[in-house]
Amino acid sequence: MKNLKIVTIVFMIILGFSCENDLNNTPEFLIDKKWILLGFFNNETNVVEFKPDNLREMNIEFGDNKRFHAVSSCNYFHGYYLILDHNSIKIDSLVSTYMYCCNDTIRTWEEKYFNGLKNAATFNFTGDTLKIKTNSNIEMIFRTE
């Protein structure tokens, strides 16, 4: 009977650690790929805004060290991310370079992109497309190279 209790306790400890590790594991499809921003989709108005062709490529890369690096049309964004469950994401410690962007379109898109990352809530992956939904029900749409 004593052996059964010990085995049960050891099993529960192992199960507890494995669940905790699963919670913080990043899905493999997300890591070490360049995700190129295509645009934004507003779920409330059903309006899609595609990134203008005259802007530089805007992208994001997630590392297996829980850090990300994003390129905007004028600035760079860095920070940490955490996968909270199978489709919840939290962006933390988001910082940006502070280069002045002389074009109004660039500034508008940088602000949308920065705020989208700052307010990221969930993500969805289908094929080569990644959608990150914000707290304000806006989806950032990415494709991988």
Residue 103 lies in a domain: yes
Q: For position 67, which CATH number holds?
A: 2.40.128.270
Residue 39 lies in a domain: yes
Mean pLDDT, to the nearest integer, of 51-68? Answer: 94
Residue 20 lies in a domain: no
Q: Quote the domain boundaries for residue 39.
A: 28-144
**Cα dist. 68→45, 65, 93, 96 in Å?**
30, 9, 10, 12
Q: What SS3 state is found at 84?
A: coil
This prediction has a pTM of 0.79
Per cent of the chain over pLDDT 70 is: 82
Mean pLDDT of the chain: 86
Residue 130 lies in a domain: yes
CB-CB contact of 36 with 57 (8 Å): yes
Residue 60 lies in a domain: yes
The two structure tokens encoding residue 39: 């645009």
For the chain, the domain total comes to 1
Q: What SS3 state is found at 128?
A: coil
